[in-house]
Amino acid sequence: MDRLELHPKGASRALIIGTVAYDDIITPYGKGEWLLGGAGSYGALAASYFAPAALVGVVGYDFKKDDLERFRKRGIDIEGIQHNPNEKTFYWKGRYRDDFVGRDTLALDLNAFESFKPVIPEAYKNSQYVMIGAVDPDLQARFIDQLGQAERFIVLDTIDKWVDQKRDQLLEVLKKVSLFLLNDDEVRLLMDDSSTVRAGKRLCEIGPEYVLVKKGEHGLLLFSKQGMFALPAFPVEELRDPTGAGDSFAGAIVGALASMGRRDLPALRKALVYASAVASMTVEGFSCSRLEQLGIDAIQQRYEELLAMTQL
């Protein structure tokens, strides 16, 4: 399996739509406050290693210039980040339990995100590779409505809250996407089915071209009409902070596909190995500290390690 050419000349844009946030994170190994976070941030940072990335989101009056600079340093186009002078930035505080068996949300303030009227800049509207983070399905639908009619590959993420509270809207919006991401519990809940495998197959029949069940440290299971694909996660020895693992995974998928300019199943499988490599490195650092400092060589090396340990 050939390496991907990262950031090839003329690569398509990876458009990342999602929250830009401040996180307070408590893990068994340490804690931090006012950390750059949010699905949009993790997604854009991850995508930026593969292709030109652009980020759409909103920040409040408390958002630090230094943090905007972190996106710019990674070459991310931030023209699509709105600034709300009257509200604070989206804020999340969470605590991971011992051995990372679960996490508790201690605070969640939508702040500037609550009144967010998404405007996708004209220049982005024909983006072919798009990630939409796990926000309210109604909002996700409004994002999609603004995108042009170009052949596009939309990766959509969700969380259990929306499966539970906005099931119908979610089932509606996911018909418009190419790749739908969710976890074990969520796919069973959404399809009201005790079998993850049967639920994944059924969801694929009624919805998107690809359904991907994220299993964290246990890897992923991809469903498509052409069959299943299973990939183990890279075995991380020392988990530091799982925050953003799924978001950097999603962003890297979009980035990798954009760098290839392809959306077929072999390309997607390759993108998933790259995305798993990136996610495994994200969780080795606190907040997005490691993700932000990955070199292209480090990503290629982890990719090859993951291939070596999964391919016969």
Phi-psi region of 7 (alpha: psi -120 to 50; beta: other; left: phi over 0): left
Q: How many CB atoms lie within 10 A of CB 234?
A: 22
Q: Is 273 in the site for its own copies (CB under 8 A)?
A: yes
- Minimal distance, residue 196 CB to its own copies, in Å: 8
Helix boundaries (H) for the chain: 39-47, 65-73, 137-146, 160-165, 167-173, 184-191, 196-206, 245-260, 265-282, 289-292, 296-310
Alpha carbon 288 to its chain's center: 13
Are 19 and 43 in contact by the 8 Å Cβ rule? The answer is no
Helix (H) or strand (E) holding 82: strand 81-83
Q: Is 290 in the site for its own copies (CB under 8 A)?
A: no
Q: Of these, 151, 192, 237, 297, which contacts its own copies (CB under 8 A)? A: 237
Residue 237 structure tokens: 């020895």
Q: Is 296 in the site for its own copies (CB under 8 A)?
A: no
Q: By rule CB under 8 A, what string of x and - marks binding of each residue 151-190 to its own copies?
A: ----------------------------------------
Q: Of these, 26, 221, 245, 279, which contacts its own copies (CB under 8 A)? A: 221
Q: Of these, 9, 66, 102, 194, which contacts its own copies (CB under 8 A)? A: 194
In the complex with its own copies, which residue's Cβ is closer, 146 or 310? 310
Q: Of these, 215, 262, 286, 300, which contacts its own copies (CB under 8 A)? A: 215
Q: Is 232 in the site for its own copies (CB under 8 A)?
A: yes
Residue 168 structure tokens: 């119908």
According to DSSP, the residues that pair with 16 across neighbouring strands are 55, 131
Contact segment (CB under 8 A) with its own copies among 34-42, 149-157, 265-273, 283-291 equals 265-273
Q: How many CB atoms lie within 10 A of CB 269?
A: 13
Q: Is 206 in the site for its own copies (CB under 8 A)?
A: no
Q: Is 14 in the site for its own copies (CB under 8 A)?
A: no
* Amino acid sitting at position 300: Q
- Minimal distance, residue 31 CB to its own copies, in Å: 18
* Contacts to its own copies by CB under 8 A: 1, 99, 194-198, 201, 215, 218-219, 221, 227-233, 235-239, 266, 269-270, 273, 307-312
